[in-house]
Amino acid sequence: RREAARASAHEPAITIDGTRIELVANCGSAGEARAAIAEGGEGCGLLRTEFLFLDRAAPPDMEEQRAACQAVADALGNRPLIVRTLDIGADKPAPWLPMDAEENPALGLRGIRLQLARTELLETQLRALLAVEAHALRIMLPMVCDAGELEQAKAMLETLAHEAGRAPPPLGIMVETPAAALTAATLAQSAAFFSIGSNDLTQYALARDRTNPAVAAGLDALHPAVLQLIDATVRGGASHGVWTGVCGGIAAIPEAVPLLVGLGVSELSVPVASIAEIKAMVRTLNAAQCSDLARQALTARDADSVRALIRPLMEEAA
């Protein structure tokens, strides 16, 4: 089956009843972007820019950031590239950035919060991205909790784009806090797209620290609470014509794919090694049937009951 999946890895992922799901990859370098295309990826749905900033004594300057993102864009050709702005703090500390010790780093100064507290970081990164020549570049902000954060970053992007004499690229957000999921309709008034970060979304919904081995094993993205947050995101986005993708780990769990398709997610961004398998999974599905299944999953009592609902479908796909 693995062989069959690989053989059709370069074909699009379309359900039996004709719903196309865009299958893109999570990348952390130009090499990974090349690997993604070789494995059938249709672009990059999450470029984690932290790779440029960690394990070094000083942050990269604008030119280094530009060149690194240009290399990824070149690897992708005219395929879409979603670049996430810097998401350091919490589980991703940077040696060059002295930060006060935090009692709860996951609830601390990280993602967009850090970038708005140290606007020179965001400004340099946006300037670098505005200098990249790419066919379909989009920018995505991590850890957004409210419209003010998005609007502040958007205003900065528009000013810098104007200075650079370019149109600003579409600006979207990671939906990885319950606050963002529940206010998706408001955020959709300013966001160009949503991408669900299920790793953090699950951590915050289930109040389990993803870095704490004593509790992390219980992080189950199929918990109905997480599914309800995904549902709220898709519906909030759709109310303003904003599409929702998923770039967290749930997108690469085969048994979760029927639920994501059923909830109306239109793009899945997965690790390179999962592209062929997840494309093959999508092709076994009937989107209308997935939609019924997802509605039932939303009110299931727990993650195990959600799995029990999916099991017949998985047996059919096998």
* Torsion sign over Cα 280, 43, 211, 226: negative
Is there binding between residue 209 and ligand PEP (CB under 6 A)?
no
Is there binding between residue 247 and ligand PEP (CB under 6 A)?
yes
Residue closer to ligand PEP by CB (options 59, 248) is 248
Which listed residue (70, 124, 190, 199) binds ligand PEP by CB under 6 A? 199
Residues between 90 and 149 with contacts to ligand PEP, criterion CB under 6 A: none
Residues between 257 and 316 with contacts to ligand PEP, criterion CB under 6 A: none
Distances (CA, A) of 74 to 33, 34, 80, 115, 172: 9, 9, 11, 27, 22
CB of 176 vs Mg ion, minimal distance in Å: 5
Residues between 129 and 188 with contacts to Mg ion, criterion CB under 5 A: 176
Tell me which stretch binds Mg ion (CB under 5 A): 114-122, 199-207, 249-257, 276-284.
Answer: 199-207
Least Cα distance to 305 among 268, 252, 264, 259 occurs for 259
Residue type for position 131: A
Which listed residue (22, 32, 149, 200) binds ligand PEP by CB under 6 A? 200
Tell me which stretch binds Mg ion (CB under 5 A): 27-35, 94-102, 155-163, 200-208.
Answer: 200-208
Rounded CA gap, 121 and 89, in Å? 13
CB of 166 vs Mg ion, minimal distance in Å: 28
Residues between 32 and 51 with contacts to ligand PEP, criterion CB under 6 A: 46, 48
Whether the Cβ atoms of residue 252 and residue 281 lie closer than 8 Å to each other: no
Residue closer to ligand PEP by CB (options 86, 309) is 86
Rounded CA gap, 66 and 61, in Å? 9
231 makes contact, choosing from ligand PEP, Mg ion, none, with CB < 5 to 8 Å by partner type, with none
Torsion of CA 119, 122, 125, 130, to 10 degrees: -100
Burial state string for 74-94 with b = 16 or more CB within 10 A and e = fewer than 16: ebbeebbbbbbbbbbbbeeeb
SS3 316: helix
Is there binding between residue 200 and Mg ion (CB under 5 A)?
yes
Give me 162's structure tokens.
Answer: 């104007």
Footprint of ligand PEP on this chain (CB under 6 A)?
46, 48, 87, 176, 197-200, 247-248
Footprint of Mg ion on this chain (CB under 5 A)?
176, 197, 200
